[in-house]
Amino acid sequence: MEQWNIWLDRDLWLGIGIVLVATAVIYTVLRTVVSTLHKRLLAWSKGQESNWPHFLAMVIGRTSRLLLLAFSLLLALRLPELPGNWQSALSHTWFVALALQIALWVDAGVRLWSRSLVTGKNGGSFNPVMTTIVSIMVLIVVWSVMLLSILANLGVDITALVASLGVGGIAVALAVQTVLSDVFASLSIGVDKPFEIGDFVVFGEVAGSIEHIGLKTTRIRSLSGEQVVCANADLLKQVVHNYKRMNTRRIVFKFGINFDTPSDKVRQVSEKVGDIIRATPNTRFDRAHFLGFDESQLTFEVVYIVQGSDYNQYMDIQQEINLQLLDALRELDVRFAMPRRDLRLVGDRMPELRVAGVPQPVEQEGREANQRLPRFN
């Protein structure tokens, strides 16, 4: 009978009614405030997803209705007088609800941030692999701290749990250290950006365009057509030449003319080369010099700058320079050097020469005879 009398107590039902009504009122007020703030921030953002009002609006939009109801109930339960053990339980419930809601807000903020970096809505270009790794690491830390905080607030001893997680983490790290080295190398590529997708790179014997930068490997489409897969850690250990970021191209080429060219025409050759390059579009002339005497030619060295990084453009320019150089040397009556050898024969007689098997007379001139036989390759 006493138990039934407790449930028939008028004050008990009055308190329950007050709590329910207060919970409904408080929930309605909180829900209205959150909804109004969300709409106002969206209106301030003016549809631009890259500004702070839109970011805050999306974070506030992740407010949980269930947690709002829990907050409303907790606020309403403070109206009636409760026993001491109830007050202690309510204090723990407050912390759990608040920790969960903060974790939801931070989770939403991190996801929006990483998505904006990947889609380029912030005006920059970021490696999607790097942003994904960073966002996952931040979310793991956030939810781990939230869980450990809730357990500690509920009176659970988390010292042994933290120690176990530390030992287990070390064991896992030792077991997958090769994979982790590639993952952190991928993170380094995303932060430092030595190359990006679409860049043309050369390292070692590999030359090609970057197709994909993954967590463990980077894939490169080589000039010969096959795909080259290289571990990120091994790739960062090498010297990588990134030709995509080359603004200009310095070109050095040589050519040779005959030894019997007069000195005044040799000077004119240098001037002609300079005039040709200056008249060629997208080039900047540097120098053209008579470099020296080689085995069978007078060697010229020419240096100029191509105002661009495209290789096909450079080849078109070099072809045009070569064609105009041919015409200019013909106008000067200067010939390109041809390889030749001088043979000196020493003896009493010249060897018998045969042409098509028929002996030919050879004229003797003293004990030493010289014969110059040009040979072209």
Domain of residue 215, CATH code = 2.30.30.60
276: nearest Cα among 324, 207, 230, 238: 324
How far is 38 from 59, CA to CA, in rounded Å?
9
Are residues 18 and 73 both part of a single domain?
yes
Same domain flag for 21 and 90: yes
Q: Is residue 143 part of a domain?
A: yes
Residues 6+ apart with CB under 8 A from 375: 339, 340, 341
pLDDT greater at residue 12 or residue 245: 245
Burial call 251-290: b when 16+ CB within 10 Å, e when fewer: beeebbbeeebeeeeeebbeebbbebbeebeebebeebee
Provide the pLDDT confidence category of residue 163 given band limits of 50, 70 and 90. Answer: low
Look up residue 193 and give its two tokens.
Answer: 């950006």
Residue 364 in any domain: the answer is no
Q: What is the CATH number of the domain that holds 294?
A: 3.30.70.100
In a domain, 279, yes or no: yes
Residues 43 and 143 in one domain: yes
Domain identity same for 190 and 117: no
**28 and 126 together in one domain:** yes
pLDDT in the model for residue 2? 46
Are 136 and 22 in the same domain?
A: yes
- pLDDT value of residue 265: 92
More confident residue, 155 or 294: 294
CB 16 within 8 A of CB 76: no
The residue out of 331, 348, 371 marking a domain boundary is: 331
Range scoring the smallest mean pLDDT among 132-141, 251-260, 340-349: 340-349
Asked if the model's pLDDT at residue 300 lies above 70, the reply is yes
Greater model confidence, 128 or 372: 128
Q: Per residue in 30-82, pLDDT tens?
A: 888 888 887 887 778 766 666 677 778 777 877 888 878 787 777 777 766 65
* 127, pLDDT greater than 50: yes
Position 376 in a domain: no
What DSSP string describes 20-58? HHHHHHHHHHHHHHHHHHHHHHHHHHTT-TTSHHHHHHH
CA nearest to 182, candidates 118, 117, 230: 230
**pLDDT score of 114:** 74
Question: What pLDDT, in 10s, does the model give residues 343-371?
Answer: 666 665 666 666 666 665 555 444 344 44
Instruction: Pick the more confident residue, 218 or 354.
Output: 218
The reply to whether 101 and 150 lie within a common domain is: yes
Do residue 195 and residue 138 come from a single domain?
no
Both 65 and 26 in one domain: the answer is: yes
Q: 36 and 135 share a domain? A: yes
Residue 313 has pLDDT above 70, yes or no: yes
Most confident of 95-99, 122-126, 351-355, 366-370: 95-99
The Cα angle at residue 294 between residues 288 and 299, in degrees rounded to 5: 15
Domain match, 239 and 253 both? no
Q: Is residue 159 part of a domain?
A: no
Going by the DSSP 8-state scheme, the letter that residue 285 receives in this structure is E
Q: Which of 124-128, 158-162, 256-260 has the lowest mean pLDDT?
A: 124-128
Count of domains in the chain?
A: 3
Cβ 214 vs Cβ 227: under 8 Å: no
pLDDT at position 34 is 84
Across 123-132, 184-193, 295-304, least confident range: 123-132
263 residue type, one letter: S
pLDDT at 179 over 80: no
Mean pLDDT of all residues in 259-270: 91
Q: Structure tokens of 64?
A: 């949980």
With contact defined as beta carbons under 8 Å apart, do 350 and 361 qualify? no
Question: What does the radius of gyration of the chain's CA atoms come to, in whole angstroms?
Answer: 42
Last residue of a domain, one of 245, 277, 294: 245
Same domain, 237 and 256: no
Does any domain span residue 343? no
Q: Does residue 9 form part of some domain?
A: yes
Is a pLDDT exceeding 90 seen at residue 256? yes
User: Could you tell me if residue 161 is inside a domain?
Assistant: no
**With a threshold of 0.75, does the pTM exceed it?**
no
pLDDT for 166: 67
* Residues spanned by the domain of 68: 2-154
Q: What pLDDT score does 304 carry?
A: 95
